[in-house]
């Protein structure tokens, strides 16, 4: 990758974080492959062991739009890590990227040495190297995520993020199903993929929920009366007012912290900024196809065009009677 800094430093130089993704020799994921797939731990002496590996892949955000992406375990977003409060976890991270990386456990109260802040709490994981994180999951069930902490303006929009959900096995679920919504943005120009950023010439023209643009996003199926917990994750670099048709939702948790019942806001749109998480519970009130979408209308287009009534950050909740 021309201009890339391979020496372990993460300072930008000559704007190289803005270079297009070099996909030469990179494998292509199946066009219908999905990210956020559950990652099964191996139990070793009571410790849940997870394996993550970064690499460059070609990834379809639409059947006819393939991006160059930075992936964990060959998927965008990275696999879903789901653990219980109090679990002992060990995560081995192998870096198969042509540049250094690290993994930060966003929102977790864990020892500083495990925080993944490259050049601050650990040296960056160089290409070909492995780094092992180990910590006890703190006693706060909720929605968290993990992401790179090296050249974040480049690596995170290119796909280096994934959901980290902490469960309390003794808690009563407040919904009959749930769906994780990880937001992302891309810049695709002249057949090349650039990390989308808030910078002239680098603004995004494609937008993804869990690595896919509408109409390739998933459809959530429910029945009238069902309560669905949506876990919004601000995994991208832009602010998205996320809106659900068909009636309001209740905000039950913010940034992994439960909102006490008397303090919960009922809204139909919630601003999800970079790094934020909102858990909302939406009730299916009427049968039909109800949209969940960003309300910055450019973000519900694919390269400026609507397809099948939307695009980008759009998905459908299909409610049966």
By the criterion CB under 5 A, which residues form the site for Cu ion? 240, 294, 296, 299
Is 307 exposed, middle or buried (CB count within 10 Å of its CB: 0-12, 13-18, 19+)?
middle
How far apart are CB 272 and Cu ion at their closest, in Å?
A: 8
Distance CA 201, CA 220 (A): 35
Q: How far is the CB of 238 from Cu ion (least distance, A)?
A: 6
Q: In angstroms, what is the minimal distance from the CB of 299 to Cu ion?
A: 3
Coil, strand, or helix at residue 237?
coil
- Nearest approach in angstroms of CB 201 to Cu ion is 20
Residue placing its CB nearer to Cu ion in the complex, 104 or 231: 231
The nearer residue to Cu ion, 160 or 196, going by C-beta atoms, is 196
Q: Per the structure block, which two tokens stand in for 25?
A: 């020799």
Listing DSSP states for 25-85 in one string gives: TPPBPPTT--S-PBPPPEEETTEEEEEEEEEEEEEEEETTEEEEEEEETTBSSEEEEEEET
Least distance (Å) between residue 308 CB and Cu ion: 18
Closer CB to Cu ion, 150 or 181, in the complex: 181
The minimum distance between CB 292 and Cu ion, in angstroms, equals 12
Using CA atoms, how far residue 212 sits from 65, 77, 89, 202, in Å, is: 10, 9, 29, 20
Residue 124 CA to residue 132 CA, distance in Å, equals 12
Between 183 and 222, whose beta carbon lies closer to Cu ion?
Answer: 183
Partners of residue 267 on adjacent β-strands: 249
Nearer of residues 85 and 296 to Cu ion, judged by Cβ: 296
Q: By C-beta, is 187 or 299 nearer to Cu ion?
A: 299
Residues pairing with 93 in the sheet:
52, 131
């Amino acid at each position: 990758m021309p201009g890339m800094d391979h020496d372990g430093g993460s300072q930008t130089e000559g704007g190289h974080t803005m270079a297009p993704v070099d996909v030469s020799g990179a494998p292509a994921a199946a066009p219908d492959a999905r990210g956020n797939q559950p990652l099964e731990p191996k139990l070793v002496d009571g410790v849940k062991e997870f394996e993550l590996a970064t690499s460059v892949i070609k990834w379809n955000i639409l059947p006819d739009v393939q991006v160059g992406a930075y992936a964990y375990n060959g998927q965008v977003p990275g696999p879903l890590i789901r653990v219980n409060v109090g679990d002992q976890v060990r995560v081995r991270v192998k870096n198969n990227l042509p540049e250094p990386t690290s993994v930060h456990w966003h929102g977790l109260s864990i020892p500083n040495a495990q925080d993944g802040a490259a050049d601050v709490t650990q040296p960056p994981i160089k290409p070909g190297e492995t780094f092992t994180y180990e910590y006890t999951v703190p006693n706060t069930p909720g929605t968290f995520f993990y992401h790179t902490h090296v050249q974040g303006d480049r690596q995170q929009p290119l796909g280096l993020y994934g959901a980290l959900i902490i469960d309390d096995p003794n808690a009563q679920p407040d919904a009959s199903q749930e769906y994780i919504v990880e937001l992302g943005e891309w810049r695709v120009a002249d057949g090349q993929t650039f990390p989308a950023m808030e910078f002239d010439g680098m603004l995004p023209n494609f937008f993804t929920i869990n690595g896919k643009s509408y109409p390739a996003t998933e459809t959530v199926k429910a029945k009238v009366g069902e309560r669905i917990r949506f876990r919004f994750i601000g995994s991208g670099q832009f602010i998205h007012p996320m809106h659900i048709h068909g009636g309001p939702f209740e905000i039950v948790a913010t940034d992994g912290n439960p909102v006490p019942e008397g303090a919960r806001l009922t809204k139909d749109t919630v601003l999800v900024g970079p790094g934020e998480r909102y858990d909302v519970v939406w009730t299916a009130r009427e049968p039909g196809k109800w949209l969940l979408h960003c309300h910055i209308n450019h973000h519900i287009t694919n390269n400026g065009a609507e397809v099948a009534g939307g695009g980008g950050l759009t998905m459908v909740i299909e409610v049966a009677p």
